[in-house]
Amino acid sequence: IKRLAVLTSGGDAPGMNAAIRAVVRTATHHDIEIVGVRRGFSGLHRGDMRIIGPRDVANTIQRGGTILLTARSHTWRTPEGRAKGAANLREWGVDGLIVIGGDGSFHGGYFLQEEHGVPVIGIPGTIDNDLYGTDHTIGYFTAVETALDAVDKLRDTGASHERIFVIEVMGRHAGHIALEVAVAGGAEEVFIPEDPKPVDGVVQIVKDSVAKGKASSIIIVAEGYPGGATGVSDAIEKGTGLETRVSILGHIQRGGSPVSSDRVLASRLGEAAVYALMDGKKGVMVGRENGQIVHTPLHETWEKSKDVSRDLYRCAKMLSV
């Protein structure tokens, strides 16, 4: 192997830069050149690429976002778009591609490999933590900290006004962020898509809380829960007559300097991705399970589902008295 390419695709996640840095520096250590592709698959399609070396990634480990930029590409969904991207990789003499992103990005890489034989390795980079084949995804830990910080602040104002705050966190179709934040933030209730329980139940929970002397409550709702935070808030106001406020945290959860757990995970997975290609592996995602590097076929990362921790869910209910 003489030359590899790397790109970031889909929603950015804190720690993506640490992963790019690890890819570049591991490759350089083994005399392999790295081509950085800008703006994900849409840049690959347009040939927006350049060689990046160890100095290009200096001073990036602590930076949020992605220095390679990212995009959600529509052209890549067509066979013609992918053929153009494959031709660009051939022209640059690239022996393999490392894709840092979530399941949409892995789909893009999978089809490139299936149709054009380009060896592809995935690195899980998404705040949602929704990929099978790794205990955590890069960006998840930081997103949880960011959301938790917001929850703590909302609790201050909620307690002062004796209000109920319904807070919506990201996660797409998964409730990992919501559950973690609910436990760490001492929420009274959490709604996740993995357990689409009816929203009416929350009315009794809030009434019980009030009866127990709680004047304010924090309720966490994953964006993937049907109806979202607004639906939950409406049900509470209708059912209890109490004043509620909705706060949708949104894209703030994708920004910021990555916490140490994301930087370390990204560093290990960036290194592992280069080693995987050097070992002749292809069509797999590198992940970390129980502290060990593991390789999972790309299609399994989206075909098999990663459940939320049921123990944590039970614990969340137990502690919200």
Residues in the site for ligand F6P, rule: CB under 6 A? Answer: 11, 102, 126-128, 170-172, 223, 254
The token pair at 147 is: 């959301």
In angstroms, give the least distance from the CB of 229 to ligand F6P: 14
Residues with Cβ within 8 Å of residue 226, at least 6 apart in sequence: 193, 196
Backbone angles phi and psi of 147, in degrees to 5 = -65, -40
The candidate with the shortest Cα–Cα distance to 133, out of 278, 276, 239, 313, is 276
Q: Which is nearer to ligand F6P, 126 or 233 (CB)?
A: 126
Q: Which of 128, 135, 200, 208 is catalytic?
A: 128
Neighbours of 200 (CB within 10 A): 11
CB 108, min distance to ligand F6P, A: 14
Closest by Cα among 35, 37, 33, 34 to 48 = 37
- 18 marked as binding residue: no
Task: Output Rg (C-alpha) for the chain, integer angstroms.
Answer: 21
Evaluated on CA atoms 227, 228, 232, 234, the torsion sign reads negative
Using the minimum distance from each CB to ligand F6P, give the nearer residue, 25 or 39.
39
The answer to whether 73 is annotated as binding is yes
Instruction: In whole angstroms, give the CA distance from residue 37 to residue 52.
Output: 10
Pick from 78, 75, 74, 71: which is nearest to 115 by CA? 78
CB closer to ligand F6P, 40 vs 102: 102
Our answer to whether residue 128 is catalytic in this structure is: yes
CA 33, chain centre distance (Å): 28
Q: How far is CA 89 from CA 3, 97, 162, 314, in A?
A: 10, 9, 59, 49
Q: Among residues 14 and 85, whose Cβ is nearest to ligand F6P? A: 14
The tokens describing 209, both together, are 């809380």
**What amino acid is encoded at 185 in this protein?**
G
155 labelled as ligand-binding? Answer: yes
Residue type, 139: G
Work out how close the CB of 1 gets to ligand F6P at its nearest, in angstroms, rounded to a whole number. Answer: 31
Nearer to ligand F6P, 102 or 108 (CB): 102
3-class state of residue 223 by DSSP? coil
Residue 186 annotated as part of some ligand binding site: yes
Is residue 162 marked as binding? no
The residue among 189 and 223 lying less far from ligand F6P, judged by its C-beta, is 223
Closest CA to 174 of 214, 139, 238, 225: 225
Beta carbon of residue 247, minimum distance to ligand F6P (angstroms, whole number): 16
CB 100 within 8 A of CB 267: no
Q: Is 251 annotated as a binding residue?
A: yes
> Is 23 a known ligand-binding residue?
yes
Whether 252 has a binding-site annotation, put simply, is yes
Minimum distance from CB of 82 to ligand F6P (Å)? 21
Least Å from the CB of residue 273 to ligand F6P = 20
Alpha helices in 212-245 (DSSP H): 228-240
- Binding site, annotated residues for substrate: 126-128, 163, 170-172, 223, 245, 251-254
Annotated binding site: 11, 21-25, 72-73, 102-105, 126-128, 155, 163, 170-172, 186-188, 212, 214-216, 223, 245, 251-254
Residues annotated in the binding site for ATP, as ranges?
Answer: 11, 72-73, 102-105
**Catalytically annotated residues:** 128
Q: Which residues are annotated as a binding site for ADP?
A: 21-25, 155, 186-188, 212, 214-216
Binding residues for Mg(2+): 103
